[in-house]
Amino acid sequence: MPYFVVLLMTGLAMGFSDPPYARVELPLAEANQLAMEYHFSGVGIDDDGALIVSGSTELLALFDDLNIPYTLMIDRYLADQEEAAFWKSVPSSYFNPTTLLSWLQSLVASHSSIAELVQIGTTDLARPIWAVKVTDNLMDEEFEPELRIIGNIHGDEKSSLMVCTDALEWILTQYGIHPDATKLVNETEMWFVPMVNPDGNFAHTRSNSNGVDLNRDFDGPAGPGTVFPAFSQKETQAIRDMTEVLGNRFMLGLTFHSGAACFNSVWNYTTTGPPDLANFFSSRTGGSPCSNPGGECAIPAMDGLAEAYGQGCTYPNFWQVVGADWYVTFGDTNDWAYDEWGTLDTTLECTVSKTPSESQIPIYTAQHRFGVINYLLKSRQGIEGVITDAVTGDPLDAQLTVTEFPQTVFTDPILGDYHRFAVPGTYEITASAQGYTPKTLTDITVTVDVMTLANFQLLPDSITFEYLVEIWHLQGPIDTNGNDYIDVIDLLSFL
């Protein structure tokens, strides 16, 4: 029996669910090319710039078949198990599933007019997955962008949890005091999920209780990055259903991780694109010298998302990269959210150590705090509006595309509002909906930290004389000149 299989069986028998890591003994560019070709994911880059992967039996068997050289990182595996045993055995300032819930309950109770605790799922070990909804009118659906901020999807990356909870606490406690916190609460709807993987947090493992890397379990342009179908796990289903069931069309997202210190944009599965590259970076390869062990950094675009985070972040040697230029992954949160829903979702690697010493918690959370706030405030830069039926005025389940950034964004199913980030410039935008004639607006100008309003009224495809006669007596959206009856001017505008 191969040595790595013996090691895995021994580890699992001891209650460990994470396999060892393996180092791919090839130049990084070659390793990443193989990852794209054979659909396997990295988990990081070592100090020498080599690709690190999960040493699962399936992946190592593939490497053996392809004669891809690799080295099992046995010392790192044993160190991980020792660290896991330590964090499970001692009281800690890092939240566990129980202490997080107590803290969230207290925080939300103290700010109940602007915060609501929502259970969005339950793990296979019956641990709840909690979200905190933050906005000024909790019971109302409003014309405002929705933002998603999540952490601890990898259970052993606990600084990601603390950065997420710190931002949540700062926004709630500074509401009505600091203008940035007040603006975010009054003008957006935020959903914080600090601990996506409570079972992994409790066990101090990267994976969940089923041994699945949750950040490879999402769907995406090339499918998931595990042997299972996409959304095979309850934790990823909970994140998916925030959009697909609860109806949140998230404009921006932040997914916190740790084990590095960088801003990581889509795409993660390919080095092609993405359509929104200019909203993140002015150059994907020009930033040198760089703390990226895999090569050069990307250069933030002026007034873009990467620049906003970087200007607020004071963590030492923080850098920026387009995902697959660092290392390739499949089935991660970013690519799914962007591909399926147009959410500009970014991975934030918070700390070089996955779980720094407790004494560092107030330091690194403060170093990231205003990077997070700056990023979320960028939800108030771009283009927004409402897409409605031109005859009835009813909101539409519609889509909007920007010619320069053609990734589709979607309207809120209740109000018909859309919110689209863009760097300053002049754009052409198109609204469309099933059963309606698309409409395009040109010369839509975006300026720094301002939202440009662009509403659409779409005509049904099947406009007939009989239909016009039927609705001729109606007022409202068809009364374009506001004189309280339908006249020739209205008809010309309508047609």
| Three-state DSSP class for residue 69 | coil
Per-residue pLDDT at 59 exceeds 80: yes
Q: Which of the two residues, 482 and 251, has the higher pLDDT score?
A: 251
* Position 5 confidence tier, pLDDT thresholds 50, 70, 90: very low
- Count of beta carbons in the 10 Å neighbourhood of residue 271: 15
Tokens, residue 163? 């950065």
Angle 248-153-352 (CA atoms, 0-180°, nearest 5)?
125
Per-residue pLDDT at 419 exceeds 80: yes
Q: Which of the two residues, 275 and 293, has the higher pLDDT score?
A: 275
* Position 51 confidence tier, pLDDT thresholds 50, 70, 90: very high
- Contacts of residues 10-17 at CB distance under 8 Å and 24 or more positions apart, as own/partner, are 11/77, 11/81, 14/81, 15/203, 16/81, 16/84, 16/205, 17/203, 17/205, 17/207, 17/208, 17/209, 17/210, 17/211
Distance CA(181)–CA(179), nearest Å, equals: 6
In order, the DSSP letters of 184-222 are HHHH-EEEEES-S-HHHHHHT-SS-TTS--GGGSS--TT
* Position 9 confidence tier, pLDDT thresholds 50, 70, 90: very low
CA 291 to chain centre: 23
Structure confidence by residue, pLDDT tens digits, 336-360: 999 999 999 999 999 999 999 999 9
pTM of this prediction?
A: 0.92
CB 333 within 8 A of CB 265: no
Residue 39, phi-psi category: left (phi > 0), alpha (psi -120 to 50), beta (remainder): left
Structure confidence by residue, pLDDT tens digits, 185-211: 999 999 999 999 999 999 999 999 999
Q: What is the pLDDT of residue 492?
A: 62
* Position 228 confidence tier, pLDDT thresholds 50, 70, 90: very high
Structure confidence by residue, pLDDT tens digits, 107-138: 999 999 999 999 999 999 999 999 999 999 99
State which fold the 97-380 domain adopts. Aminopeptidase (3.40.630)
CB 158 within 8 A of CB 201: yes
Q: What is the pLDDT of residue 139?
A: 96
Per-residue pLDDT at 222 exceeds 50: yes
Query: Nearest Cα to 412, choosing from 240, 251, 183, 238?
Result: 251
Distance CA(437)–CA(417), nearest Å, equals: 18
Query: Nearest Cα to 265, choosing from 276, 121, 153, 257?
Result: 276
Tokens, residue 355? 């779980």
Angle 425-431-433 (CA atoms, 0-180°, nearest 5)?
160
Query: Nearest Cα to 329, choosing from 208, 408, 226?
Result: 226
**What would the mean pLDDT of 8-27 be, rounded to a whole number?**
70
Query: Nearest Cα to 326, choosing from 99, 51, 142, 57?
Result: 51
Per-residue pLDDT at 488 exceeds 80: no
Tokens, residue 377? 């405030």
Q: What is the pLDDT of residue 300?
A: 96
Per-residue pLDDT at 12 exceeds 50: no
Per-residue pLDDT at 465 exceeds 70: no
From the options 2.60.40.1120, 1.10.3720.10, 3.40.50.720, 2.30.33.40, give the CATH code of 384-462. Answer: 2.60.40.1120
Residue 264 has φ and ψ, to the nearest 5°, of -125, 110
Query: Nearest Cα to 251, choosing from 406, 409, 371?
Result: 409
Q: Which of the two residues, 286 and 329, has the higher pLDDT score?
A: 329
Angle 449-273-413 (CA atoms, 0-180°, nearest 5)?
55
Per-residue pLDDT at 2 exceeds 50: no
Tokens, residue 290? 């760089």
- Domain boundary assignment for the chain: 3-89, 97-380, 384-462
Structure confidence by residue, pLDDT tens digits, 361-386: 999 999 999 999 999 999 999 999 99
